[in-house]
Amino acid sequence: MEFPSQLVERAVEEISRLPGIGKKTALRLALHLLKQPEDATFELSSALKELRENIKYCKTCHIIADTEECTCQNAYRDTSVICVVEDTPDVLAIRNTGQYNGLFHVLGGRISPMDGIGPENVKIDSLISRIKSDDQVKEVILALSATMEGDTTSFYITKLLKESGIKVTTIARGIPVGSELEFADEVTLGRSITTRTLFSQD
Amino acid sequence: MEFPSQLVERAVEEISRLPGIGKKTALRLALHLLKQPEDATFELSSALKELRENIKYCKTCHIIADTEECTCQNAYRDTSVICVVEDTPDVLAIRNTGQYNGLFHVLGGRISPMDGIGPENVKIDSLISRIKSDDQVKEVILALSATMEGDTTSFYITKLLKESGIKVTTIARGIPVGSELEFADEVTLGRSITTRTLFSQD
């Protein structure tokens, strides 16, 4: 694509590095910004810069936060449960359900030997030492993705916690609510039968 | 959506103002930037800021450019034809065809009484005075969109140029190349018959 201006070309180049945004969309976004008041672009530009400059990761739970002491030690939380997730969006998703009020631990990825990611590249050591130093913790919920890498990570953590006497659970795999049985894949349907629960009318 | 950080919240807010980007995509983009090296974000941020600060519009043809004298006066261009378009992306699209080597004139919109856009809100005056002050111009090609507003704008410009002796043409409307007749809409098919051209084997 031939651009009428070096400035536009550079902006398109940078915008199109973002995932899922191609050159055409990037050009549309750049031209959109040019039609908006100047402040719209300046606000966007400074929000991005400040995000990258000032973001912190909580040193306890590794959630993205504004300070190194995030709200994870909030007095209203149930400090006897830690939910282990892969990334910050998973924390938001679980919080949004309103069904969980415990602590979180963000691994920052999952064990994946194929991609060269070993246990030392994710925050598993930090999880174990956190649990060992805090005798309030009674349960660890593994909420990792239902893939080979997620399961490997779950097995690894379970093995490390075996001797500790802490209850290790995992979120239920099964038929999504509102979904028809006939469209479910065999593995999910099979697992929903082996891990069946008592029917309650609540 | 509840955010773990004010910085993330502000970035998501600003990114999601862009057209076609919702809060979820904005969050995904913000978290992507946090996983990249710092420079990626700083480059993006400064490219956007500099684009908005330093962009110019050519004072002759109103194309987005780095200086007020854009490449429109390039010696290799055919200065006897001006192609009138609505916006800068149209210029890029026409240039990319490789079928046109003349000048351009960007109106910056089209006459649309419903949206309160009159002839004085687009660069029609500038087009007329440009043509009057330059006796090299022999033809004006109207390449506006095939909508009521585009046609209104074309009629208006044609009327203003009626006495000038300049040839006013418009791009052909018809069946797109590679398209099947049976799927064409009636208006397009009708117009392709009334504006039929001599068949050549080139």
Amino acid occupying residue B32: H
Do A11 and A37 belong to one domain?
Answer: yes
Residues A4-54: pLDDT tens digits?
Answer: 788 999 999 999 999 999 998 999 999 899 888 999 999 999 999 999 999
- What is the secondary structure of B166-190 as a DSSP string? -EEEEPPPSPPTT--GGGS-HHHHH
* In-domain check, residue A59: no
Residues B103-151: pLDDT tens digits?
Answer: 999 999 999 999 899 999 999 999 999 999 888 899 999 999 989 999 9
| pLDDT-based confidence at residue A201 (cuts at 50, 70, 90) | low
Do B115 and B160 belong to one domain?
Answer: yes
* In-domain check, residue A116: yes
Strands B78-85 and A56-57: unpaired
Do B106 and B184 belong to one domain?
Answer: yes
Q: Determine the 3-state secondary structure of B21 from DSSP.
A: coil
Chain A closest-CA separation from residue B103 CA (Å): 13
What the block records as the tokens of B85 is: 């378009």
User: Which domain CATH number covers A83?
Assistant: 3.40.1360.10
Do A165 and A188 belong to one domain?
Answer: no
Name chain A contacts of B11, Cβ cutoff 8 Å: 47-48, 50-51
The whole-angstrom separation of Cα A3 and Cα B29 is: 25
Do B182 and B140 belong to one domain?
Answer: yes
User: Which domain CATH number covers B46?
Assistant: 1.10.8.420
Do B88 and B165 belong to one domain?
Answer: yes
Report ipTM (2 d.p.): 0.77
Do B128 and B156 belong to one domain?
Answer: yes
* In-domain check, residue A104: yes
Chain A closest-CA separation from residue B86 CA (Å): 13
* A95 closest CA partner among A123, A121, A74: A74
Q: How far is CA A134 from CA A80, A120, A162, in A?
A: 9, 22, 17
* In-domain check, residue B200: no
Do B98 and B166 belong to one domain?
Answer: yes
* In-domain check, residue B81: yes
Q: Determine the 3-state secondary structure of A166 from DSSP.
A: coil
Question: Is some CB atom of chain B closer than 8 A to the CB atom of A131?
Answer: no
Residue B21 has pLDDT above 80, yes or no: yes
Do B50 and B69 belong to one domain?
Answer: no
* In-domain check, residue B111: yes
Instruction: Please tell me which of the candidates B7, B10, B48 has its beta carbon nearest to residue A11.
Output: B48
* In-domain check, residue B59: no
Number of domains composing chain A: 3
- pLDDT at residue number B140: 94
Do A92 and A125 belong to one domain?
Answer: yes
Q: Are residues A173 and A188 in contact, defined by beta-carbon separation less than 8 angstroms?
A: yes
Do A70 and A164 belong to one domain?
Answer: yes
Do A105 and A178 belong to one domain?
Answer: no
Instruction: Please tell me which of the candidates B1, B52, B91 has its beta carbon nearest to residue A41.
Output: B52
Domain coverage including residue A98: 64-170
* In-domain check, residue A1: no
Phi, psi values for residue A178, rounded to 5°: 90, 0
